[in-house]
Amino acid sequence: MFDYLELAKLRSSCRKYTDEPVSEEKIRKIILAANAAPVGSRRYADIHLTVVRDRRVLDALGEAAKERFRDRKIAEKIIGEVKAPEGPKTGEAKKKNDPFYHAPVVIFISHRKQDLQPGIEWANAAAVAYAMHLEAVSLGLGSVFIWGALEAARYLPEFDRTDLLKLPEDFQPLMGLAIGHCAEPAKPRELTDQKIEVNEIG
């Protein structure tokens, strides 16, 4: 029988990728995993995936996050102490400043705007993202959840370029998953049940 915890030992968030492209076969398997995720009321038609490989589109989508993090007070609230920038970003420094970590592929998860079950769209997007994340691990790829770039676009609508995703009417992008060959392959880690506090009833 499949041992989920053995796969979980390899699960990690990859934030540094090689330039090697991800094969179409692996992308199809990751999308298959998304379609196997649990979705509220089985309303799969309310979810839309956008596979983006175009670096120009990703750069445009990342501008809101870059602009937001220029406000050091906001940045420090989110990620802690921020060092002052040292001159223009070029080369490796520019890569580090990329909200998508310079991954060769980002899959955006969008959901139909709705008030039928308020909040279910976030649960659906998270379930789909995690299913794809685990399939990426099983394929020997690295991946990481993308939240900041889209959240920044909602925070700074004047920098919102999510129109570039060419979504169906009434859909909004909620999350993304950056995918690629991790520069530092994941090593198995020890699991613990002490990270999350638990209480038991009955």
Task: Map out the domains of the chain as residue ranges.
Answer: 11-78+93-180
pLDDT at 93: 46
Contact call for residues 164 and 61 (beta carbons, < 8 A): yes
d(CA 63, CA 163): 13
The predicted pLDDT at position 185 comes to: 84
Mean pLDDT of 108-127: 93
Residue 9 DSSP symbol = T
pLDDT tens per residue, range 88-107? 545 454 455 899 999 999 99
- Above 90 in pLDDT, residue 143? yes
The CATH number of 11-78+93-180, from 3.40.50.300, 3.40.109.10, 3.20.20.10, 3.30.1130.10, is: 3.40.109.10
Is the pLDDT at 173 greater than 60? The verdict is yes
| Residues across the chain | 202
Task: Enter the tokens of residue 126.
Answer: 């998270």
Give the per-residue pLDDT at 45.
96
Average pLDDT over residues 111-120: 89
Alpha carbon distance 143, 51 (integer Å): 14
Residue 117: the pLDDT is 84
What whole-number distance in Å separates Cα of residue 107 and Cα of residue 57? 12
pLDDT of 27-77, one tens digit each?
A: 999 999 999 999 999 999 999 999 999 999 999 999 999 888 776 666 565
Tell me the pLDDT tens digit for each residue of 128-141: 999 999 999 999 99
- What is the model's pTM? 0.89
DSSP state of 21: P
More confident residue, 2 or 10: 10
> In the predicted model, is pLDDT for residue 1 greater than 80?
no
Give the pLDDT band (50/70/90) at residue 153. very high
Alpha helices (H) along 70-115:
72-79, 91-96
